[in-house]
Amino acid sequence: MERSDITHLRELNPPKLNAKAIQRRRSTKAVTMTTATPEREIKEIARHHGVTDEEYQKIVSRLGRVPTVTEIGMYGVMYSEHCSYKSSKPVLRLFPMEGARVLVKAGEENAGVVDIGDGLAVVFKIESHNHPSAVEPFQGAATGVGGILRDIFTMGARPVALLNSLRFGDLSKPRVKQLLKGVVSGIAHYGNCIGVPTVGGEIAFDESYEGNPLVNVVCVGVVKKKDLVKARAKGAGNPVFYVGAATGRDGLGGASFASRELTETSEEDRPAVQVADPFLEKLLLEACLELIQSGAVVGIQDMGAAGLTCSTCETASRGGTGIEIDIAKVPRREEGMTPYEVMLSESQERMLIIVQKGREQVAERIFRKWDLHAARIGQVTRSTLLRVTENGGLAAEIPATSLTDEAPVYQRPAKKPAASKEKIRLDEIPQTDLTESFRTLLASPTIASKAWVYEQYDHMVQTNTVVLPGRGTSAIRLKGTKKFLAMTTDGNGTHVALDPYRGGMMAVCEAARNLVVAGATPIGLSDCLNFGSPEDPEIFWQFKECVRGMAEACRILSIPVTGGNVSFYNESPKGAIDPTPIVAMVGLIEGFQPVTGDFKEEGDAVILLGKTQEALGGSEYLKVAHRHKIGSLPEIDLMQEKALQRFLLSEIKEGRVKSAHDLSEGGLAVAAAECTFMNPERRIGVLFEEEAFPKMRTDCFLFGESPSRILVSVAEKAADSFCQRAVRAGVFAVRLGRVGGDRIQFGKKIQLPVEEAEQIWKGSFHELLGR
Amino acid sequence: MRFGVVVFPGSNCDEDCRHVLTDVMRQKVRMVWHKERDLSGLDCVVLPGGFSYGDYLRSGAIARFSPVMKEVIAYAKKGKPVIGICNGFQILLEAGLLPGAMLRNRTLHFICRPVHLKAETDQTPFTNRIRKGTVLTLPIAHNEGNYFADPKTLEELEEGEQVVFRYCDPKGHVTDEANPNGSLRNIAGICNPKRNILGLMPHPERASETALGSEDGRKIFESLMSA
């Protein structure tokens, strides 16, 4: 192993040692220091970088000396929660990660990879960009999209779809409107420009997200298995290229920023938010894919969180090698940048590419073709050290794995909240006017049409979107095959707040159900776990319980977790957000068209699959019609869920199902209404017979949110046998009525013209946000 | 026929055009890199949609300076068919091959959705198979599609029957409500006086297969093939 002489280490313009400035990670001005920084100060700097005294001691003993300021900065970002998963790692091990189709497991690379046959694989991942979006919604959301795209195409996959899951506070408030507008235009700006369709996702509103909105983005890519590229630095002597945008001081310490709670002064962190350049990324995307085709690539990693530090130490760790770089060769867009700043910058649209020695010219020709700036900044070495020099002077020399695999892991204390949420008995909730409640639900921003949002996204580019947003589960075709990919994101914070274990199960089940209604078999999931501070034992308990529930559901439904992201510290001065796991799931359809949710034909029988419980806990109805966010969640039986999904899939494969729609927020009434107007070219009414209603409170039946339920329509003459087969499969089925007319009729309880219901549902966003 | 699809840095509908022309329309396609200068052997040049040069500065404003554009202008001046779709239309405007300019949509948003279009003339090589007055359904996807021209230019366009498509309602009525972006006179597509250059904001390549919900876009390609 190499061991450098410590006397060669010298500080190259360390940042100004103003404690306050470092605390805010805004240390942009540099002063030249002639003497090495005393250890007392280094220790203090370490603390300001979130490195505990104990962690500091370990670093000192690992290095065998006092680290430099640059090194402390590098350890600081790599040991941040965002990069190290130091709190979540032990809990995430609960997730089942194995599966017959899994080619690259969670954590092995930048994204998981799942085999879909015919030599093809799907690469997908979800990631959060909550904190940047709270501070600067447009750039925060845009760079979130840019980052997740890079994770996918650096593996050799062409991105074929984007989705996003957004959470905001009360949409009637001006600040929330501003945030929503900013986030939506940021997502549109990036996705539209780069030419990857934004095909789906979901948005929900709840006061808990008031000061801390959630912006979770998903990218799905497709790759020929033989073209898969890994983010590894292999082969001593192979050159390391830096490609893309020049390095500036933007996003300095973004990973650390993401690992703190939002406070009143977070706006001052705006320099920690990066600026997006989707055009440059489009060039990088095309160049990377062309480069991979040329066979000259050894490994690629994007520079996301922790920039150059993370990309170098991770590729070296995975490859079991070392890397040495000369940062004097790093293209810069600002003068006087210190090694600390260069190593920690999170400027966007940059890549680290390791090229086969001798094939440099192939790579350089491709970069030139795409007008990309590329610089050879170093090489892979036989050691296992990450060595950073500048003009011959040593700025950092760290064993690569000490930044990655050896990062600290904590068993955080978890404590069940003494009095979990206040309970409410059903008989304490009055039955309000059903029609009025129905209208209120349709207009509720969480339920109302999101056309105002998705029409700002190019959801058709690449000409594969066979199920457009708003028409059911998003699905794209894979040209040249008989395959379709269905995709969804789901997660209900209110549910998890009330019961994290059950809520976690429900999130996974709902996502799977959303795929199954399209006829897709779920093949993998990526999760984004948005929680408050893990240092709060009650929040950490929520986190553990939620993951336990999710993992349990994954095991029963046989869906492997192929990757994901944990976002802690989602807190504003008002407190933590509702714990919100977002499940991004991909499903495969082979040989038949995806099923959509809209009712198809007059006279078709409408059947409700799954049992309705007399419960309202956690429902949107309780929230918007009664202003309660309490109560017990309905129960969920994973075996029932599994039977339901299996049965529906087999019926769809037999071509017996005309429409299928999952029941979620707003329950049966909202789902049925959506089926009537989901297809603007074929609006059609529905009639439920009151005799078919079970014996329970009507509001529970119509608006309750019992899980594991699906509303389907089948041909009239096939209805009886359909129900019989359901019962034989252990699935509860009740024939509620039929498709037809131009009204939504739930017995005599609710009667509303389809057109009127649609106007309420469609008008809500426009009323709140303008045209 | 042999089509040439020009690829600018930032084009993102180039591949969609290639797919429709080869896999659906069964025609030959050559992808023409923007630094190329050779358009020989091509029967029609397509400027596809996307964000050429990121649409930084102004949509199409930088792409018009790409080396290939000199050749496209010469090619068009010879009377050969050139079709610009979305960003391609914006480039044609910036290059001066068609009159007028694009403003931001009046909603100040990007808009992606299917719209109805009234075919206003069958006297072009792009619409000779579309009877005048036919209503087509094609998607739009743009931020700057709000067509603008001075009154004199507008009069000239009308007199020369150069307005090829207008936004309309499903029944073919040209109304303000059916105008998605605020274009003057609901203009969605225009041609030059010689009628060999067409620019349109809607995307025919996104509506040429039943799987995508509409086949109306094919009619434009079919017209070209029978011209």
CB within 8 Å of A338: residues ≥ 6 apart: A12, A13, A14, A15, A30, A70
Contact B55 A459 (CB under 8 A): no
CB within 8 Å of A755: residues ≥ 6 apart: A683, A742
- List the alpha helices (DSSP H) in A195-338: 254-257, 278-294, 307-319
d(CA B186, CA B176): 7
Cβ atoms of A455 and A569 within 8 Å: the answer is no
d(CA A673, CA A657): 18
d(CA B136, CA A508): 42
In a mutational test of the A interface, the residue from B51, B112, B181 whose CB has the highest number of chain A CBs within 10 Å is B112
pLDDT at site A8: 37
pLDDT at site A321: 94
Cβ atoms of B31 and B7 within 8 Å: the answer is yes
Q: Is B227 helix (H, G, I), strand (E, B) or coil?
A: coil
ipTM of the complex: 0.97
Please give the structure tokens belonging to residue A546. 């939620």
Closest by CA position to A293, among listed A129, A415, A425, A153? A153
pLDDT at site A275: 80
Contact A193 B54 (CB under 8 A): yes
CB within 8 Å of A258: residues ≥ 6 apart: A80, A82, A130, A131, A132, A305, A567, A569
A278 interaction partners in chain B (CB closer than 8 Å): 51, 54
Q: Is A565 helix (H, G, I), strand (E, B) or coil?
A: strand
Q: Is A415 helix (H, G, I), strand (E, B) or coil?
A: coil
Cβ atoms of B12 and B54 within 8 Å: the answer is no
pLDDT at site A232: 83
Closest by CA position to A306, among listed A478, A64, A50? A50
The confidence band for B39, taking pLDDT boundaries of 50, 70 and 90, is: very high
Largest CA distance in chain B: 44
Contact B110 A459 (CB under 8 A): no
Q: Report angle CA A461, A465, A467 to the nearest 5 degrees.
A: 145
Residue of A nearest to B51 (CA): A193
Strands A571-572 and A350-355: unpaired
Specify the pTM: 0.93
Largest CA distance in chain A: 88
Q: List residues bridging with A113 in a β-sheet.
A: A104, A123
**Which strands sit side by side in the sheet containing B111-119, from one edge to the other?**
B28-33, B2-7, B44-47, B82-85, B197-200, B187-191, B163-168, B111-119, B135-142
Pick the catalytic residue from A48, A129, A189, A459: A129
Alpha carbon separation from A628 to A16, A378, A441, A536, A608 (Å, rounded): 51, 60, 14, 26, 27
Please give the structure tokens belonging to residue A215. 């912006």
Which residue among A371, A455, A771 places its CB closest to the CB of B113?
A: A455
Give the side-chain half-sphere CA count within 13 A for A549.
26
Residue of A nearest to B59 (CA): A193
Q: Which amino acid makes up residue A169?
A: G
Q: What residues in chain A have per-residue pLDDT under 70?
A: 1-36, 251, 253-273, 419-422, 771
* Helices vs strands, H then E, count in chain B: 5, 11
Closest by CA position to A521, among listed A471, A558, A479, A482? A558
Cβ atoms of A446 and A620 within 8 Å: the answer is yes
Say which residue the tokens 């073209």 belong to. A227
d(CA A590, CA A425): 46
Please give the structure tokens belonging to residue A533. 């501070």
pLDDT at site A425: 84
DSSP codes of every residue in A731-769: --EEEEEEE-SSEEEETTTEEEEHHHHHHHHHHHHHHHH
- List the alpha helices (DSSP H) in A560-697: 620-626, 638-653, 667-677
Contact A282 B9 (CB under 8 A): yes
The kind and range of the H/E element at A294 are helix A278-294
B206 interaction partners in chain A (CB closer than 8 Å): 460-461, 463
pLDDT at site B85: 98
Alpha carbon separation from A289 to A155, A158, A292, A303, A476 (Å, rounded): 9, 8, 5, 17, 21
Q: Is A516 helix (H, G, I), strand (E, B) or coil?
A: helix
pLDDT tens-digit map of A523-569:
999 999 999 999 999 999 999 999 999 999 999 999 999 999 999 99
d(CA B184, CA A567): 48
For residue A421, report the phi and psi dihedrals to the nearest 5 degrees: -35, 145
pLDDT at site A15: 39
**Active-site residue A661, yes or no?**
no
Q: How many CB atoms lie within 10 A of CB A593?
A: 15
Q: Report angle CA A523, A527, A533 to the nearest 5 degrees.
A: 165
Q: List residues bridging with A204 in a β-sheet.
A: A167
pLDDT at site A34: 32
Average pLDDT over residues B16-45: 97
Q: List residues bridging with A731 in a β-sheet.
A: none
The verdict on B175 touching A (C-beta cutoff 8 Å) is no
